[in-house]
Amino acid sequence: MPAKILVADDDLTLQRLITNTLKLERHEVIVASDGRQALDLIHSEQPDLVILDVMMPVLNGFDVCAELRKDPETAILPVIMLSGLGQVQEKIIGLRAGADEYLTKPIDPRELLTRVEMLLARHALLRKSAAVKSGRVLSLIGAKGGVGVTTLAVNLAAKLAGNGNQVILLEFRPDYGTVALHFNLKPTISLAALRPLEPVAITDQVVNRLLNETSVGVKVLCGPQKADEFGAFNAGLAGALLARLITQCDYVVVDLPPAVDEATETILKSSDQVLVVLEPEATSVAAAVQRVNQIIAYSSAITIRLIAVNRQGAMLLSLREIEHRLDRPLLDVFPPAIDAMGVAVQFGMPVVVSQPNHVYAERIGDLLKQLQESKATTLHR
Ligand SMILES: Nc1ncnc2c1ncn2[C@@H]1O[C@H](COP(=O)(O)OP(=O)(O)OP(=O)(O)O)[C@@H](O)[C@H]1O
Ligand SMILES: [Mg+2]
């Protein structure tokens, strides 16, 4: 089957040799002469396979490959790396950056073609199995800490599962994760187990070992549970993990920490919707304005929605005043529900399941409808 292949090499002679070889097999070829141009063309042209020279101006092949692996859209795109450097060490760096194949110059056209055909065939198989699902990603992040993000994420996930969706709740935080307590789980393995892995090593099998079943149907990947598991995650891991999770469910609900790092950025950029959570008081509203600015700076294509949780009970600012300061509408202001929260955690059963008639549970249902109604217009993938 003819494919669309990007060839990135600043050596024009080699670029032509490879192009001609591929065209003889009726492949469509796009060429780039530096790493930046290669990345731009990959995003605009969406080739089926990429051939990258290691030594290129602006961005080298290793860096291009690492960038591709960070982004769930290109995380499994087949990559062949070419290098004049025959040393084992270079080859290892290439494979670690996420290359599927590594060929040393001089290139034998027949070998290149064989590798191309094999990789394309393997990828077609992978896509066939992955095409079963492509889940939507709903991420929640606080304007600041402790505003009720995890409680919302847990209940939204449980409600989605109750509506018949396959749901994975990903608690993506570097330090202690509280999601386990909401479901009365005692996970023996957490997100931290992925930290030492290269993105390519994050397979469905590895991910499945981390997923905990719950009685409400949500599968949960818990954040770190012990102090010695705390620590930052890198963007490559975030992208590779999300790429695997979306093939396994209808919805990935992500509970994010109120943090600024490359992993959080990667998840925010890969989300269909981001729900920014705040409290209806001045400092939280001010923090929310900056949280929104931060997310927009990552990408203006991210769909941001805002929600307030009135944990304290007092509304010191009017809804109008809050929306004026935010310069955006609020989807809702959730009422205080201290009693319900206590019971839910005590029994390890989210409010939407244990107390479905509670006003908090009802409002979760309304919120979900609002989020789902917007899907036709806000889906940017
Ligand atoms: N609507 C509510 N009414 C009263 N208390 C609430 C409400 N929502 C959450 N809480 C309580 O507020 C506390 C913080 O909630 P939660 O853990 O969900 O916040 P968080 O934003 O995830 O915090 P962190 O930033 O530490 O991750 C918890 O004790 C929770 O029970
Ligand atoms: Mg939390």
Helix axis angle, 149-162 to 359-373, nearest 10°: 80
Cα of 250 from ligand 2 centre, angstroms: 23
Name the residue with the closest Cα to ligand 1, atom 16. Answer: 148
What tokens does 61 get?
């092949």
What tokens does 332 get?
């809702």
- Every domain of the chain and the residues it spans: 4-130, 136-378
Evaluate: CB of 145 within 6 angstroms of ligand 1: yes
- With the most atoms of ligand 1 within 8 angstroms of its CB, the residue from 172, 338, 341, 349 to mutate is 341
Backbone φ, ψ for residue 258 (5° rounding):
-80, 65
Evaluate: CB of 232 within 6 angstroms of ligand 1: no
**What number of residues does the chain have?**
381
Query: pLDDT tens-digit profile of 26-84?
Result: 999 999 999 999 999 999 999 999 999 998 999 999 999 989 988 878 888 999 999 87
Evaluate: CB of 146 within 6 angstroms of ligand 1: yes
How far is 193 from 52, CA to CA, in rounded Å?
Answer: 31
**Which residues, including other chains, have CB under 8 Å from residue 293's CB and lie 6 or more apart?**
none
- Closest by CA to 253, choosing from 186, 171, 356, is 171
- With the most atoms of ligand 1 within 8 angstroms of its CB, the residue from 151, 178, 338, 354 to mutate is 151
Evaluate: CB of 177 within 6 angstroms of ligand 1: no
pTM for this prediction:
0.75
pLDDT computed for residue 89 by the predictor: 76
Instruction: Classify domain 4-130 by CATH number.
Output: 3.40.50.2300
- Fold match between domain 4-130 and domain 136-378: yes
Cα of 133 from ligand 2 centre, angstroms: 28
Name the residue with the closest Cα to ligand 1, atom 26. Answer: 146
User: What is the share, in percent, of the chain residues with pLDDT greater than 90?
Assistant: 77
Cα of 148 from ligand 2 centre, angstroms: 7
Average pLDDT over residues 343-352: 96
Task: Please report the atom of ligand 1 found closest to the CA of residue 277.
Answer: 21
Please, which pLDDT band fits residue 377 given cuts at 50, 70 and 90? very low
Task: Please report the atom of ligand 1 found closest to the CA of residue 154.
Answer: 18
Backbone φ, ψ for residue 101 (5° rounding):
-135, 155
SS3 call for 213: strand
SS3 call for 233: coil
Tell me the C-alpha to C-alpha distance, in Å, between residue 57 and each of 17, 53, 103.
20, 10, 19
CB distance 277 to 151 below 8 Å: no
- 161 has pLDDT over 80: yes
Rounded (5°) CA angle 188-190-195: 135
Instruction: Classify domain 136-378 by CATH number.
Output: 3.40.50.300
Evaluate: CB of 178 within 6 angstroms of ligand 1: yes
